[in-house]
Structure 1
Amino acid sequence: MRVTQPTRRAFLGGLLTTPLLAACAGFDTSGAASPGTVGFLSTQFAPVEERQRYEQVLSRLPVPVAYNPVDAGVFRTTIDSQTAAGQVQVGMVGGLHGDLAPIAEHLADVESLLADLAPAGFAPELVQLARFGGGAAKYVPWMQATYVLAVHQRALEWLPPGVDPEALDYDGFLRWMQAGAAGNGAPIFGLPAGPRGLHHRFHQGYLLPSFTGGQITAFTSADAVGAWEYLRELWQVTAPASTNYAFMQEPLARGEVLVAWDHVARLIGAVGDRPADWLMVPAPRGPKGLGYMLIVAGVGLPVGGPEREKAEIAVRGMASAPMQIETLRNNAFFPVTSIELPADLPAGVALEARAVKAQNSADDAVLALPPVGVGAHDGQVSQVFKDCFTQICLDGRPARQVVDAQARVLSGLLAELNVPCWAPDPPNAVCEVG
C-alpha cells in the first residue's frame, strides 16, 4: 500500500470486573466529578441517545466514570483555563486526534500505559499519531471511524459492464451513477450536502487525496482542479435534495436515493432489519490511490488531574476487547486494537466492518485526517472546501477561478493558525497552501 505521513492502517485482554453504574451526580460544566469518580470530558457522543448508550458502555468499567460531552471549543477552553489556574478538575479527556493536538502540552506522558497495553494490539500507526510527530505519546487510542458507501441492491441493476462495486474507481462510479439516473428517471446517488452534513470531509479526505495525493499542499494543482471538475460532473447525477441532507441513512431508508457516501455512524440506520438489501463498500479510488479519512479518537490524562489511579484503570478497561466491541455495537465506532470481531454483530455493523477493513487495507490507500491543530477554527478551514463545492458544483463557476480564490482564503487562515500540515500532506513545520 502507498503510505503517506503518518502511515495508515489501524483496523479493526479483558479488564472488566463487576459492572458499576456511571456516577453522574455532582458533574458540572467544568468537567469536575464527585470524589471517587473519574470526570471524563469528551468531544464525542454529544447527541442524547449516543451519550446514553455510551454511558451504559462505561458502566461496565470497574471504576465509576462521569461522562460529559462538550463541543470542541468548550473542551479546549476548559483544559486551558484549568491548567493555567493550577486547578485541574478533569480526570481524563477524550476527543478526536485534532481535538487533542491543541492541548497536548497539558496531557501527561502515557508511554508506560501504552507499553502495559501492548498486548491489546494497537496498530503502530495509531501510536505514532498519539506522539504528535515526536516525543512521548499523549493519549491512548480509544476508537476509530471512517466513511464508506452504502448501496441498495436495486442500484446494481444499472451497474455498467466491468465496474465492480467492491473495487470502484471514480470514472466507473460516475458511469454507474449516470446509468442509474438515466434508468431510474432520477438520480440514485446522494451526498450529505445539507447545512449539518459532512460533505466537506468527502472533499478533504476522499476526493482531493484520491486525485492529488494531498489535501492542502496540492490545493491549487491541476490535479485538484480536475478533481473539482469531476465532482461537478458527478453532481449532475446527484439528487438535488442532497443540499438538505444531514444523515444519509434517512434518505436511504426512505428510498429517495439508492447509493450514498457518509460517516459509518450516519449510514447504519438505513440497513434496519433488511441487511440482505444492502451492500457497504469502500470509497472509489482515483489517479493517486484510494483516498480515505480516518477518524481517530484518543483518551488522555491531564497533568495534575484528580483520581489518576482510577483514570488509568478506566483507560485500561476502555482498551479491553469487551469494551471495544460494545462501543462498536452501541455507537458504530470501530476498535483500535487487533481483536477479532464477533460473528453476532448487528447486521449493519457487520456490513460496515467488512467495508472498513477493505478500505483501510487497500494496497493503494491514502490516509487523510481531518484538520489537525486548528481547534475551533475547523469550521473556517472546512468552509473553504464547502465554498469550493457550492461555487463550482451549484453555481457553475470555473473551477480554476474558484480554487485560486479560495486558496487565498485558506492561506490566510493557515498563516494565522501557524500549524503543521496533517496527513496526507507531509508534516511541514508550517502548513502552506500549494
Structure 2
Amino acid sequence: MAASGLRRRSVLRAVGIGAAALSAAACTGFSTTGNGGMLFLSTQFRPADEAERFRGLLGKIAPEVSYVTIEESPFASQVRSQVVARSTQIGMLGGLHGDIAPLADGYLEDLTGLLADLGDRGWPAAYLQLAKAGTDRTWYVPWATASYVLAAHADALEHLPPGVDATSLTYDQFLDWAIAARRANGNRPMLGLPAGPKGLLHRFTQGYLLPSFTGGQITTFRSNEAVTAWQYFRELWANCAGASTNYDFMQEPLASGEVRMAWDHVVRLVHAPEHDPQNWRMLPAPRGEHGLGYMAVITGLAIPKGSTDPELAQRTINALTRPEAQIELLRSNGFFPAVGATIPDGLPPAVKLEADAVYRQQQAPDAILSLPPVGLGQREGEVSKVFKDSFRSIVLDGADIRSTLDQQAGVLQGILDDLKVPCWAPDRTADVCRVE
C-alpha cells in the first residue's frame, strides 16, 4: 500500500474497547491458533505468562488482532521471505530496535506520515531519530522501553560523600561512595554488580562505562580513553562484594542485605524494595568526561510491506502508544512508556522509583544513548563475549589493559568484517563498523 494511503487521518480515530482477551498461542515459529484476524508478529514477551498478560491488554484495545511471538532470527527471515514473495501474511510487527531497523527501506512501510498524525506524545528525540534507521524516513513507532539503573538502600545512602547529589553522580563520586560505604561497613563492600553466569554486567561496559569515558562503544573500544575506563573499573571492582561473580539478578542480594547498592536491569531490581520501599532509592547512572552513558532497550511497532490490514495496524499502533495503554503495559509486563506519561500511584513501589531514574537518564542534558548490538543476529553473543572476556582478563585476572584491548579488538573486528554491518548508537553510522 502506498505511503499516502497510510496517512489517512480517518484511520486514526479511537479504536473501540473490547472485553475479550485473545487466545492466540505463543510460538517460536510462524503459526497461530485462536480467533484469526490480523496477525501481530513480535519478538517481545515470549515467555508464556508475559505473552498472555499482553494478550489481555491487547484484547481490550484491538480484539481482532492475534498476537504471536517468535525468536529474533526467524522473525527477520519470515518478514523478508514473505515481502519478497509478495505474499505477506502479517499485519504488523513488534520488536527491539535491533530486530526492526535492519528491515527498514525495503521490507517495511514508511510511517513518517503516521507518526506526524499521531502528534507529539512525548517521545524522546533520540528515540525518534533511531526510528529512522539512518534514513530521512520513519520505519517504526517507538513502543516501550527498559533500561538499567542504580539501586541503593538507606544504609548505603548515609555514606554518600558530603555535598554529593545521588541523582547526579560522576564516576569518581560513585567510586568515592563505594569506598566510603566499604570502610564504614567494617571493610566489607556494600556495592554489588551482576557478574554471575547469567548476569548482565557486559551491558554496563557496553552501554554505560565506555560511552561515558570514550563517547563510543565499538569505534573507541581500544582507545586511550578506554584504557582509562578499564583502569577505573579495576578500582571500582576492588570495592565490590566478592560474591558479585555469582550474582545474576541483583534484587536477591539487595533484598537479603548482602549488598546495599547495585546496578542492574530494571526488571532485575524490581523486587528488592518490596518490604521497605521508604528506605530505597533508584538512581540514574553516573556520568563521565563525555557525558551520562546509558543503555536503553527500545521496542518499536512497524508495518510490513504488503500488510494484510494496514489500516487496522495503524489503529492498533495508535492505541498502543497512547499514555493509558503505555501505563497498562508497564503494569502488566514491566516495560516503561516510550511516550510522556505520568506514572500513577498503585504500582509496585520499585516501578515508581525506577521510573524517576529512567526519566532522569533519558532527559539528562549530556545523555549518551547506547543500544545493545544491532544487526548481528545469532552472532550477538560473540560480541558480548568480547566484553565479558575483556572484563575477565583485565579486572579479574589483572592482565595488561592495552594488550588485552588490542587482542580483543581483533576478535571484535573479525566478527564485524564477516557481517558487514554498520555501527549502532552511540557510535556514528558507517557502511561497515570498525574499531579505530
TM-score (norm 1): 0.91
2: distance between equivalents of 1:34 and 1:303? 24
Structure 1 residue matching 2:267: 3-state secondary structure: helix
Matched, 1:180 2:181: yes
- Residue aligning to 1:107: 108
TM-superposed deviation, 1:36: 4.2
1: distance between equivalents of 2:15 and 2:185? 53
- Residue aligning to 1:132: 133
Moved segments of 4+, more than 4 Å: 13-16, 25-28, 31-36
- Residue aligning to 1:24: 24
State whether residues 31 and 40 of structure 1, in contact with CA within 8 Å, keep that contact through their aligned partners in structure 2: no
Choose from 285, 288, 291 the match for 1:289.
Answer: 291
CA gap 1:14/1:266 in 2 versus in 1, 3 angstroms: farther
Structure 1 residue matching 2:151: 3-state secondary structure: strand
What do the CA deviations read for 1:352-390 (whole angstroms, capped 9, x no partner)? 111112222222222212222222222111111111111
State whether residues 265 and 331 of structure 1, in contact with CA within 8 Å, keep that contact through their aligned partners in structure 2: no
CA gap 1:28/1:297 in 2 versus in 1, 3 angstroms: closer
1: distance between equivalents of 2:202 and 2:420? 22
State whether residues 26 and 51 of structure 2, in contact with CA within 8 Å, keep that contact through their aligned partners in structure 1: no
1: distance between equivalents of 2:274 and 2:372? 29
Aligned length: 422
Matched, 1:192 2:194: yes
TM-superposed deviation, 1:35: 6.4
1: distance between equivalents of 2:129 and 2:380? 23
- Residue aligning to 2:215: 213
Choose from 222, 226, 229 the match for 1:227.
Answer: 229
- Residue aligning to 2:241: 239
TM-superposed deviation, 1:181: 2.3
State whether residues 14 and 315 of structure 2, in contact with CA within 8 Å, keep that contact through their aligned partners in structure 1: no
Structure 1 segments unaligned to the other structure (5+ residues): 1-12
- Residue aligning to 2:150: 149
CA gap 1:314/1:324 in 2 versus in 1, 3 angstroms: same
What do the CA deviations read for 1:170-200 (whole angstroms, capped 9, x no partner)? 1111121122223324221122222222111
- Compute the RMSD of aligned alpha carbons: 2.2
Q: What fraction of aligned residue pairs are identical, expressed as a percent?
A: 50
State whether residues 213 and 229 of structure 2, in contact with CA within 8 Å, keep that contact through their aligned partners in structure 1: yes
Q: Which moved more, 1:256-265 or 1:102-111?
A: 102-111
1: distance between equivalents of 2:194 and 2:335? 19
Q: 1:295 is aligned with what amino acid? A: V
Structure 2 segments unaligned to the other structure (5+ residues): 1-12
Matched, 1:80 2:93: no
- Residue aligning to 1:6: none
- Residue aligning to 1:42: 42
State whether residues 141 and 296 of structure 1, in contact with CA within 8 Å, keep that contact through their aligned partners in structure 2: yes
Q: 2:148 is aligned with what amino acid? A: Y
TM-superposed deviation, 1:239: 1.9
CA gap 1:34/1:110 in 2 versus in 1, 3 angstroms: farther
- Residue aligning to 1:51: 51
Choose between structure 1 and 2 for higher RCO, CA contacts under 8 A separated by at least 6 residues.
1
2: distance between equivalents of 1:119 and 1:156? 38
TM-superposed deviation, 1:216: 1.3
